[in-house]
Chain A
Amino acid sequence: AQTVTQSQPEMSVQEAETVTLSCTYDTSESDYYLFWYKQPPSRQMILVIRQEAYKQQNATENRFSVNFQKAAKSFSLKISDSQLGDAAMYFCTYSGAGSYQLTFGKGTKLSVIP
């Protein structure tokens, strides 16, 4: 079974600064996808970024980027120029290529300090 570990239950960052959220995963599959979902206080789940395991290039979406280290099974999220609206719970998520089941990490609560 796949597991996803987020070792930082809580983190904080100063507004306009950069923060990195950590995620490691364990799998025996070679083809899979990794995601970061954001859950603000509104409770709505929002996709932040997605990475295909077969792609060596790290995904980026505006201020959000990932550091994908396939051999180390590491998938960290970097948020640049942090904004107050980035305050949320962030979930690292794994999905096998042919799987119908996602595995979520336990989440990291990010606070942004004005």
Chain B
Amino acid sequence: NAGVTQTPKFQVLKTGQSMTLQCAQDMNHEYMSWYRQDPGMGLRLIHYSVGAGITDQGEVPNGYNVSRSTTEDFPLRLLSAAPSQTSVYFCASSFTGTGAEKLFFGSGTQLSVL
């Protein structure tokens, strides 16, 4: 049972570099989302998707791009990394994403931008 798989687990970038955080789920969930976790801030929603081809912004979308070409995958792209993007990133999914559902989380990616 793979669940939600995130890669990489750790990454160090230099300011201005680009990278993609990968997220895949094998539970046939329509809803997928990306959160960032900063010390003392809880988790904040970056982007989410309610199905292939459909994405929308969350609370803190600036500096991040997403796309959803398949049900299984939801990559998060940093086009030009900034130190303010140093954080732990979590991908999460659920069947439909509506309020009642439990979220299934990946194990996180710790990103440092120097």
Contact = CB atoms under 8 A, between A and B. Distances in A.
Query: Do A and B interact with each other, yes or no?
Result: yes
A105 B42 contact: yes
B58 to A, nearest CB: 6
Nearest to A35: B102
Interface residues of B, number: 26
A97 B108 contact: no
Contacts of A42: 107
Nearest to B102: A47
A11 B42 CA distance: 16
Contacts of B114: none
A60 to B, nearest CB: 16
Given A43-B107, A45-B105, A47-B103, A101 B43 contact: no
Contact of A45 (B40, B98, B103): B103
B103 to A, nearest CB: 7
Contacts of A52: 100
Nearest to B58: A101
B72 to A, nearest CB: 19
Contacts of B99: 31-33, 95-99
A101 B31 CA distance: 11
B59 A101 contact: yes
Contact of B56 (A32, A33, A97, A100): A100
A100 B98 contact: yes
Contacts of A99: 98-99
A18 B102 CA distance: 26
Given A99-B99, A104-B44, A106-B41, A45 B58 contact: no
17 contacts: A31-B99, A50-B102, A91-B42, A95-B99, A95-B100, A96-B99, A97-B99, A98-B99, A100-B31, A100-B33, A100-B56, A100-B98, A101-B45, A101-B48, A102-B103, A104-B43, A106-B40
Interface of A: 4, 9, 31-33, 35, 42-45, 47, 50, 52, 91, 95-102, 104-107
